[in-house]
Amino acid sequence: MNTKNANNMMNTKNTNTTKKANFTRSKELFAEASRFMPGGVNSPVRSFKAVGREPVFIKRADGAYLFDEDGNKYIDYVGSWGPAILGHNNTVVKDALRAAMENGLSFGAATEAELTMAKLLCAAVPSLEMVRMVNSGTEAVMSALRAARGFTGRDKIIKFAGCYHGHADATLVKAGSGLLSGASPDSAGVSASTAAGTLVAGFNSLDSVTALFERHKQKIAAVIVEPVPANMGVVLPEKGFLEGLRDICTAEGALLIFDEVITGFRLAFGGAQELFNITPDLSCFGKIIGAGLPVGAYGGRREVMELISPLGPVYQAGTLSGNPLAMAAGIAQLGFLRDHPELYRQLETEAGRLFSGLNEIIRKKKAADACVINSIGSIGSIFFTGENVRDFTSALKSDTKRYAAYFSYMLDNGVYVAPAQFEALFVSASHGKNEIDFTLERADEFL
Ligand SMILES: *Cc1c(COP(=O)(O)O)cnc(C)c1O
């Protein structure tokens, strides 16, 4: 890793301590925040509710580290849920932001930066012929689904149980154990009629997809999938699954949508679709492409994207879409990734040491009947179950109480992992041997 701040982080060796952290200031802030914001937070997973704790309030972040309001320091494996692939507070990104800021914050008019971003995205991801910038992953997915409906003239979509595609109404459906039955919403406030348009199949089960196409002939506009799900914990596609989806969609005249909001620019520069060599019709991005600013994008086949307004009848707009600061940050991060392809090998090496280290600990402690690791590239999950986790049903076998205890132990000892079992662990280019070793020592103490 050759950014300046990453090099600085090399000198932090052994400055972590294992003494119990003090959370006084975070507790005060949380008590007050809870009076003004639902649950004290602006996004639920930050609340630590799933692990039975109160959240820590973060003051700043640098490289692989988070620092909270009480002065505690953590090795961070959340990375803002993915955007911080180069590590926090990256110099390249910050310099680009500062320069852009000098020219003004938002114009509500066309800019060259948007063109630069669009060209970068299309060059990186072969299936992208045209792209539209939005402000979040949720918006990207919502808009891609609308485009798919507009293109096919069909109403229904298929998603997979356990895959998360943002909080738009149509995607807040998982059906849980009611696989293949009528979908019901996961959230209050989603109308039954909206939920009924979302059919739910089982990840890694092509049969469940085929059955839905048979039952809803000529009604299905698209199949949307996280090519590597990271929102039920990390689950790997089995051999032939993604290829099978491609074939089914082609045969049925439905669009295949890859939600690469996490996997894009992470599993490879060209995302999961490059890694697995599959060409989706549409793809959704977010997280990494904004480098920490609120950004999303969707794009794909020209004939589909040409239906988007103002060219075509599928309406989609955004006051701050393609915002100059967001574009500057994204262009800087993506440009850096493009110009340093060796980073992906480095990420895999460091993350590989973490995941194989965890596996080694599990073997050594003969804990394999209670603990499995799923990982690919720089993301992975530890599931507290002895079963192979290959879909939502098997992921749900995890002992979430045990995960909560693991989370608490790690947090109290300087390691910030996802505050929920069904989330990924993100390794950044700022995580080096010191950070991985420290993490493995703490995990060894707990497991
Ligand atoms: C985070 C995420 C989203 C939603 O993105 P937001 O920016 O939070 O709206 C959509 N899909 C996947 C796969 C995600 O991980």
Q: Ligand 1: does its nearest atom lie under 6 Å from the Cβ of 286? A: yes
Here the CATH number for the domain that contains residue 287 is: 3.40.640.10
Helix, strand, or coil here: 75?
A: strand
How many Å apart are CA 15 and CA 438, to the nearest integer? 10
Together in a domain, 335 and 350: no
pLDDT values of the chain reduced to their tens digit, one per residue, 447 residues: 444 444 444 444 444 445 567 999 999 999 999 999 999 999 998 999 999 999 999 999 999 999 999 999 999 999 999 999 999 999 999 999 999 999 999 999 999 999 999 999 999 999 999 999 999 999 999 999 999 999 999 999 999 999 999 999 998 887 343 444 455 678 889 898 898 999 999 999 999 999 999 999 999 999 999 999 999 999 999 999 999 999 999 999 999 999 999 999 999 999 999 999 999 999 999 999 999 999 999 999 999 999 999 999 999 999 999 999 999 999 999 999 999 999 999 999 999 999 999 999 999 999 888 999 999 999 999 999 999 999 999 999 999 999 999 999 999 999 999 999 999 999 999 999 999 999 999 999 999
Residue from 259, 298, 403, 416 carrying the catalytic annotation: 259
Name the one residue in this structure whose structure tokens are 């045969």. Answer: 251
Q: Ligand 1: does its nearest atom lie under 6 Å from the Cβ of 156? A: no
Q: What per-residue confidence (pLDDT) applies to 368?
A: 86
Query: How far is CA 85 from each of CA 55, 65, 124, 300, 427, rounded to the nearest angstrom?
Result: 23, 13, 16, 24, 7
Domain-located, residue 15: yes
Over the range 175-188, which residues count as b (16 or more CB within 10 Å of their CB) and which as e? bbeebbeebbbeee
Together in a domain, 44 and 138: no
Contacts of residue 342, Cβ cutoff 8 Å, sequence gap at least 6: none
164 is catalytic: yes
Residue having the nearest C-alpha atom to atom 6 of ligand 1? 137
Query: How far is CA 411 from each of CA 25, 64, 124, rounded to the nearest angstrom?
Result: 16, 15, 36
Together in a domain, 107 and 176: yes
Together in a domain, 215 and 231: yes
| Number of separate domains in the chain | 2
Query: How far is CA 361 from each of CA 367, 415, 446, rounded to the nearest angstrom?
Result: 8, 17, 10
* Ligand 1 center from residue 133 Cα (angstroms): 14
Together in a domain, 318 and 356: no
Domain span including residue 359: 11-76+342-446
The answer to whether the beta carbons of residues 50 and 404 sit under 8 Å apart is yes
Together in a domain, 325 and 378: no
Which residue, 85, 81, 64, is CA-closest to 5?
Answer: 64
Together in a domain, 141 and 259: yes
Together in a domain, 48 and 160: no
Q: Ligand 1: does its nearest atom lie under 6 Å from the Cβ of 423? A: no
Q: What per-residue confidence (pLDDT) applies to 176?
A: 41
Here the CATH number for the domain that contains residue 439 is: 3.90.1150.10
Residue from 65, 74, 77, 164 carrying the catalytic annotation: 164
Residue having the nearest C-alpha atom to atom 11 of ligand 1? 165
Which residue, of 295, 313, 339, is where some domain finishes? 339
Domain-located, residue 5: no
How many Å apart are CA 141 and CA 145, to the nearest integer? 6
Together in a domain, 173 and 322: yes
* Ligand 1 center from residue 231 Cα (angstroms): 9
Together in a domain, 317 and 173: yes
The two three-digit tokens of residue 156, written as one number:
């229904």
Which residue, 235, 236, 224, 308, is CA-closest to 261?
Answer: 224
Together in a domain, 328 and 348: no
Name the one residue in this structure whose structure tokens are 């991005």. Answer: 285
State the closest ligand 1 atom to the C-alpha of 136, by its place in the atom list counted from 1. 7
